[in-house]
Amino acid sequence: MSLVMKIHSLPAVVTVKTSCNWTTHAKAVHHIRFSPKYKTIMTAKDSALLGDIRPDLIQNETLPDIFDATVKKYYFNTAVMNGERSWTYGQIGELSDIIRNGLLKANIGRGDIVGLWMERGVDVLIAQIGITKSGAAWLPFDAAAPVDRISTCLSDAGAKVLLTNRLGSEQISNTDHLIFLYEDLIKDNPGNFEVAHNRPSINDRAYLIYTSGSTGKPKGVVISHSNICHLLRAVNEVYGFTADDTVFQGTSIAFDLCLEEIWVSYMVGAKLFVANAEVMMDIEHLPHVMQQMGITVIDTVPTLLALLTTDIPSLRMVIVGGEALPARIVNRYAKENCRLLNSYGPTETSVVATVGEIHIGDPISIGKPIPNYTCYVVNEQIEIVPIGEQGELLIGGPGVSQEGYLNRLDLTNQKFIPNPLQDPRCPILYRTGDLASINVDGNIVFYGRTDDQVKIRGFRVEIGEIEAKIRQMPRINQAAVLLRRDNDIDRLCAFLVVEAGADLNYSELRIELLKVLPAYMVPAHYEIMPRLPYLTSGKIDYKSLRTMPLVAAVIESSQDEESFTETEKTVLAAARRVFSDQVVSLDSDFFTDLGGHSLVVAMFISFVRETASLADITIQDVYKYRVLRAISAQLDTRREKTSISNKDLSFTPPPLQRRFLCGCAQALALPFILFLLMCQWISLYASSVVLYRETAMLLTEILVLLPLYLCLVITLQILVVGLKWLILGRTKPGCYPMWGSYYYRIWLVQRLLTVVNSSLLQRSPLMRIYMRALGAHIGRDAIISTGEVGTFDLITVEEGASIGEDTVFANVKIIGNQMIIGSIFIGANAVVGTACVFEPNTIVSAGAELADLSALPSGTVVESGEYWDGSPARKIRMVDEPTFAEAPKPSRLTRMAQLLVYIVGYCVMLLVGLLPIFPAFFLFSYFDSLIRGGSGVEVSWLTLLILGIPTSFILIMLALTVVTALRWIILPSRLRPGLYSIHSWLYVRKWMVKLAIDVALDTAYSIHSTVLMRNWYRLMGAKIGTGTEISTDFGSECDMIELGEHNFVADDTIVADEKVRRGWLILDKVKTGNRVFIGNSSVVACGAVIEDDVLLGVHSKLPASLHLFKSESYIGSPGILLHQRRIIIHDDASTYNPPLYRRIGRVVFESIHMSIPTAIFICMGTITGDLIANYIHTGNV
């Protein structure tokens, strides 16, 4: 053939214009030879699509080579995780070596075929690697595959063994095939040596996958190592997986799409999250799991994406394939920060042949060929059609199967044909049977099938195979099956002609078909017809069957629906809406009787939830109970428990006399409590005034007042501890009447404890000493920074545990007319996040972890090693194994030295709180003498009026200046992200800086939300953009904070809070973009990245990925993505960029405003001190 090619403006479109000589390809693959029946006539408008020519992607390698190279490079990196634990590449490699050795010892290796039938999970992936390392090829089966089909495929393939687990072996016990148990191989074969064997070559079989066959017999597609290895490298040139990715693995191993998820991840060293059957079943919770695991890439079918109820913000790439891509999926997932790729490829061409990136508004196509692939669109005569015209899609390239179909030479010669153009890069073309065209943009547009093959839920199905199996059933004469779309659901419908007088039971028929067909191939609807419609050609008229109305179901009259409960009526009505054309009764099984599947379950759930009282129905309820009557009973039982619980909340108010007496006792105690609160300050004021009446020396005041203040503070702490034991003794758990004597004693002790500011002791050994003094059981090296405590006696924190900031130990709880007191136990090395809440009788076992902003309801037990999150908290997964060793323990001498430094540091930093206060007494006395022309006995009110606000402002600035200086003296270098031992001197110094900040802000609290706040934090080391408003305390984490411009950080927000694990302090940065709003009492964990225009709601936190993308809104714990929020547009002049006069006005106003509280405090203190001094000197007030 003589041809000339011309490359047009679209680089991937090749047009043939005149003719030149093509060299004849010398050899096709194996048994396929050039046949003269395939002729190609080409014109000036004929076209084909050629992928990039990349010979570097065709390497002499096998799957074991690829995996071993990754293990060598990323040995200690996480390879696989399942939500409960993770495995490194080294660990996966060692486990797969054990499987390899077990197979080789049984003389199974190169050239053999091993069936693989196991449920979803990490084990099946390890087994897959072990098989390929042995040199054998794997033959995968879906976990729900029927035993008959497995036996048929094993026999056809000549498989030497079926590798399964104990669950699978029980189901397939009656078989002639040799069975190996995964558990036995792992247990009986050491992996630290390699049995001598021949490693596979590039032309050896890597795997076989059986697809549906039109004759009723499945056909096996053989893929070699060279096929699949090229595919991995070629497709990743388009995808761009990296070692930083976390890839979601949710596809069945029987569906070749999984090879992209699994083996591309292996090739680049990415992390693979393996979702088990339970995770995949819980569609509602699945997005949350993906967020928690930080999934960045998902490769799946559009059906699964459509079921996800919320978006996954961590995603950077979504790859879809196996089904047509609906526009609604494009609109939802094609984002600026997330690529949406539509892939296409038959199993016969190694998973994927074409890929296209889809944007909102673009025509949906399957893109262009991946590197080294070629695509042609031809007519029935195998002639290439013009651009834009429909025809059959042919595919060539290194991924096209070299063997074709196993033991099916006739079918192989029919579907794998020599390339009529004799292109040496793709000598063999695969006839896909798919209708397609090439548009003017050079992309392939997919239309459907040219034959009776369809795709259902991602699986390719031959209608003929289903029809053949149905015709083998008793009492069925004819059968026609097709894919119909009814009520927005794709489902297989079977039209049957049965024997005269036969009474067909659909449920029994479905059960029998499930024995010989996978569940996705069993029709969901059956229609009995007197005869099937035919065309004039004598073929079944499938077109009329596809459009004909289905016969409405007749409701069984034997059911007395009047006697049904309201729940049963609701559930039955919802099922009838979903299965509108089927007989539905309360005794119908949702799956075997009605043909339900995951998409139908989602619709059914939404219909039931329209009844508010049944809104708590879950997908697990449907899968677990299956029969409509059982589902209804479960919902009734749950509602009954809920109603009982609600009924218990009502109570009879305590007797009036008891409430009155308790109230009187509380009123009598309040003056004493207020006295304790004020005594340290009153004593300070009085001493100061007395001193100034004797001398005006500032130095004398300092030398007297500072020790006096320290003595008062420490004495008060000791007094409160003693009063606790005197009033209450050791707290006893139990239920006590409200307003009773025990309630009063608990209340009184709680009020007395507020006199002591224990928050200043947080995260130091001093906190452990203080809590032990109050009766708590605190282990060595426990790091505690709790906020509120109900009662200390019933708290146990074991060695090495850490408790985050603002944690509430609410082990005293009021319910109705009772006070419930219970214990709280936190085990060794457990980690409690920031702002968590514990109710009575809760346990966090050793090594467990409770995430930030989580709440443990009464009676909850978190088992060892579990990770819980949410409010209320629930188990999410197992805690990840730490990648670092436990911090080294200090010597006894070091502990004693550090304890002494903590005590001295505590005393010194307490004095910082006096800076905005005690110099005022000297200044007032000094200037009063100047104003009045002599030394007065007491400061005049005129002096106070004139000097109060200026003095307050100066002293606040002095305090902040001193704290800033202390920060850079104690920590002269910026802290960097990383791990620091809690026994290091750096940790001690950091604690002292935080204490100085906390003490200063306790006294000068009025600077919050002012312009001064952000400027002071900049001096302390934080990076804060222009116009950012801050109304919270960053503590000593300033070095970790980088805020963009015009942010708003609301009250009580905790940003970049340090974490402590296994004796290590963990620090990491928080970075935000511009115009970010962070609501009150929210938690922004260290390591968080927040992009522009993000809103984080009140009492909310980030998802597990710790990354919020542009314009996203999150609220709650765990964070829920809000898809829409109301946006009000204002001009910048009134918001972010006000004119200069407004800025100056704000500075003046805030300077006065922030000074007023301290001014009132010091002025009233001076007046009080004068009154007391007068009384001391004269006996008169």
Geometric angle at alpha carbon 254, from 252 and 260, rounded to 5°:
70
Helices (H), 347-462: 409-415
Domain 892-912+971-1127: give its CATH superfamily: Hexapeptide repeat proteins (2.160.10.10)
Residue type, 868: W
At 589, is the secondary structure helix, strand, or coil? strand
Query: Which of 320, 271, 259 lies closest to 295 in space, CA to CA?
Result: 271
Residue 527 has φ and ψ, to the nearest 5°, of: -125, 120
Question: Domain limits of the chain?
Answer: 5-51+373-449, 90-336, 453-547, 563-648, 652-755, 757-881, 892-912+971-1127
Please state the separation of Cα 62 from the chain's center in Å: 34
What is the DSSP code (8-state) at residue 1101? B
Please name the residues in contact with 661: beta carbons below 8 A apart, sequence gap of 6 or more: 739
Please state the separation of Cα 572 from the chain's center in Å: 35
Determine contact, residues 1072/1043, Cβ cutoff 8 Å: yes
Residue type, 8: H
Burial of 551 (0-12, 13-18, 19+ CB in 10 A): exposed
d(CA 861, CA 872): 13
Query: Which of 437, 434, 398 lies closest to 415 in space, CA to CA?
Result: 434
Identify the pLDDT of residue 369: 95
Geometric angle at alpha carbon 612, from 306 and 286, rounded to 5°:
30
Please name the residues in contact with 962: beta carbons below 8 A apart, sequence gap of 6 or more: 912, 915, 1000
Determine contact, residues 720/920, Cβ cutoff 8 Å: no
Helix then strand count (H, E) for the chain reads: 31, 60
Q: Would strands 1113-1115 and 1089-1090 be described as parallel, antiparallel, or unpaired?
A: unpaired
CATH topology identical between 757-881 and 892-912+971-1127: yes
pTM of the predicted model over 0.75: no
Query: Which of 129, 127, 101 lies closest to 116 in space, CA to CA?
Result: 127
Identify the pLDDT of residue 685: 67
Burial of 194 (0-12, 13-18, 19+ CB in 10 A): exposed
Domain 453-547: give its CATH superfamily: ANL, C-terminal domain (3.30.300.30)
What fold characterizes domain 90-336? Rossmann fold (3.40.50)
Distances in Å between the Cα of 774 and the Cα atoms of 735, 784, 786, 789, 908 are 21, 15, 14, 11, 24
> Can you give the C-alpha Rg of the chain in angstroms?
38
* Structural class in CATH, domain 757-881: mainly beta
Q: Would strands 1064-1067 and 1059-1061 be described as parallel, antiparallel, or unpaired?
A: antiparallel
Query: Which of 286, 152, 172 lies closest to 219 in space, CA to CA?
Result: 152
Q: Which CATH architecture has domain 5-51+373-449?
A: Roll (2.30)
| 3-state class percentages of the chain: helix first, strand second, coil last, to nearest 5 | 40, 20, 40
> Per the structure block, which two tokens stand in for 835?
């702002």
Residue 341 has φ and ψ, to the nearest 5°, of: -115, 130
What does pLDDT average to in each consecutive run of 10 residues of the chain (1181 residues)?
30 30 28 34 56 92 96 92 88 92 91 92 94 95 85 92 78 75 81 67 94 74 96 96 94 89 96 88 82 91 76 91 79 89 93 94 91 92 87 94 92 91 84 89 82 65 79 83 75 85 80 80 85 66 82 48 81 85 75 71 82 78 82 82 50 86 93 85 66 58 74 88 92 90 93 86 90 93 86 92 91 88 92 92 92 89 89 82 74 91 87 70 68 60 74 84 89 88 91 86 80 89 90 80 91 87 88 91 90 87 83 77 52 75 88 84 72 64 50
Distances in Å between the Cα of 111 and the Cα atoms of 134, 160, 206, 1171 are 10, 10, 9, 102
Identify the pLDDT of residue 33: 30
d(CA 295, CA 291): 6
Identify the pLDDT of residue 237: 95
Determine contact, residues 319/298, Cβ cutoff 8 Å: yes
d(CA 1072, CA 1107): 10
d(CA 1080, CA 1067): 23
d(CA 579, CA 604): 9
Does 563-648 carry CATH code 1.10.730.10?
A: no
